[in-house]
Chains A and B, each alone.
Chain A
Amino acid sequence: EVQLVESGGGLVQPGGSLRLSCAASGFTFSDHYMDWVRQAPGKGLEWVGRIRNKANSYTTEYAASVKGRFTISRDDSKNSLYLQMNSLKIEDTGVYFCTRVAGTTWSTAVVDSWGQGTLVTVSS
């Protein structure tokens, strides 16, 4: 069974930093692309970014709203995904979901598994 467990959320002041972690199990983590998706309180879903697998050089993609401030990384030896968030803004508040991408082709690169999410609150 695929399991994704996020941690690291909490309260942080504007301008501060936070690092989210996601522990993956139940599948071959190193084979898969991974995404972060977030959801502001009472709002819709927002894609944050993606990291590809080793076969695709661990390259990354980001939403414009976080590019230059957030960094996605992974440690395949630890089956772990990370989201380093710097220069946090109030509008970054929300639940952050760690997600697994099913395949590596354009037609199969869809999120098929989600963690339970971790809440990040940016407030003074």
Chain B
Amino acid sequence: DIQLTQSPSFLSASVGDRVTITCRASQGISNYLAWYQQKPGKAPKLLIYAASTLQSGVPSRFGGSGSGTEFSLTISGLQPEDFTTYYCQQLNRYPLTFGGGTKVEI
């Protein structure tokens, strides 16, 4: 199975900061990677797919990059509603797998 390692697991930041979350795959997955945001008690929400394509309706302060085994999610100008948990998921090979999550805290 393809393992996804997210770092950091926890990230402290302030409103207006630019933050980057990294997702490393145990083997190459081309650009078949998605990022999700999950707020407490809610279902996750798709932010980015194909490593860098912004899902419709997602604010442009969210950006994704990477290919192969190294990927990143960048939030430029953190807003209060962005302080929550983020997950990456690889879509290259079954079984599909998620990263362990990154919690962005104030």
Give the distance in Å from the alpha carbon of A46 to the alpha carbon of B100 in the complex: 9
B92 at the interface (CB under 8 A from A): yes
Q: Which of A79-124 contact B (CB under 8 A)?
A: 97, 102, 106-112, 114-117
Number of interface residues of B (CB under 8 A): 25
Taking a contact as CB atoms under 8 Å apart, the answer to whether B95 and A47 are in contact is: yes
In the complex, which of the residues A46, A109, A114 contacts B98, with contact meaning CB atoms closer than 8 Å?
Answer: A46
Which chain B residue lies CB-closest to A45?
B98
Cβ A110 vs Cβ B46 within 8 A: yes
CB distance from A110 to the nearest CB of B (A): 4
Count, A-B residue pairs, CB within 8 A: 61
When chains A and B are docked, how far (Å) is the Cα of A102 from the Cα of B48? 13
Query: Which of B1, B32, B46, B96 lies in contact with A112, CB distance below 8 A?
Result: B46
A116-B45 Cα distance, complex, nearest whole Å? 11
- Answer yes or no: A64 CB below 8 A from chain B CBs: yes
B78 interface residue per 8 A CB criterion = no
Q: Known contacts A110-B46, A110-B91: does B98 contact A47 (CB below 8 Å)?
A: yes
How many angstroms from the CA of A45 to the CA of B92 in the assembled complex? 17
A-side contacts of B43, CB under 8 Å? 97, 114-117
5 pairs of A and B residues whose beta carbons are closest in the complex:
A114-B43, A110-B49, A47-B96, A45-B98, A44-B101
